[in-house]
Amino acid sequence: MASDLLPPSEVGRLASSFGPGSLATGTMRDSGAYRARTLFQGRESPLSPNKIVKTDAEWRAQLTDLEFAVLREAGTERPWTGELIDEKRDGVFRCRACGAQLFESGTKFDSHCGWPSFYDADPDSVVLLEDRSHGMVRTEVRCANCDSHLGHVFPDAPQTPTGDRYCINSVSLTFDEVGEDA
Ligand SMILES: [Zn+2]
């Protein structure tokens, strides 16, 4: 089973226990927050022509239990369990479900929150959605290509060029080192 999955009851406690920005009180910056793309109000992002659409059965056949729980059911891996937290090599991070390039190593930084963190995403690679689960207002990050859940983005990283922290599950990503054939 997916024993590395964070129980929903712990999501709120952990999410609000670190970082200078209180995630639960909706302290979004007035301007410049998430240079990204589009913040869709609601759960469904618009389908794009290139979007990969599979049934749950097809995803289950392709993914492990933990990968499915996070990528397709918006679960959260336990902090400090992910294999990519301390990945420091030059390369690119791809969606584990569809292989789309999402983040580059140059935007990865040490946030000490227990999950891989980036200050920006590749252009048009992710979509952002309002997430009101667990009694909080957060911004969910999904892969623009296959609609899989990646993590959340918080405007609480003033030490970075954007001020944003894309807090992404390791299990949602794969890493390709530069120069390595994919
Ligand atoms: Zn994807």
- Annotated catalytic residue within 98, 113, 143, 167: 167
Instruction: Supply the pLDDT for residue 131.
Output: 95
Instruction: Supply the pLDDT for residue 4.
Output: 87
**Cβ-based neighbours of 117, under 8 Å, separated by 6 or more:** 108, 109, 110, 111, 157, 165, 166, 167, 168
- Any idea what DSSP says for residue 97? T
Instruction: Supply the pLDDT for residue 51.
Output: 86
Please give the distance, rounded to the nearest whole angstrom, from the Cα atom of residue 20 to the centre of ligand 1: 30
Residue 74 tokens, joined = 């918006």
Instruction: Supply the pLDDT for residue 27.
Output: 40
User: Which residues in the chain show pLDDT less than 50?
Assistant: 19-33, 36-37, 41-44, 182
Please give the distance, rounded to the nearest whole angstrom, from the Cα atom of residue 60 to the centre of ligand 1: 15
Q: How much is the pTM?
A: 0.81
Instruction: Supply the pLDDT for residue 12.
Output: 73
Instruction: Supply the pLDDT for residue 50.
Output: 63
SS3 content of the chain, % helix, strand, coil (to 5): 20, 25, 55
Please give the distance, rounded to the nearest whole angstrom, from the Cα atom of residue 102 to the centre of ligand 1: 8
Please give the distance, rounded to the nearest whole angstrom, from the Cα atom of residue 108 to the centre of ligand 1: 19
SS3 state of residue 85: coil
Q: Is 167 a catalytic residue?
A: yes
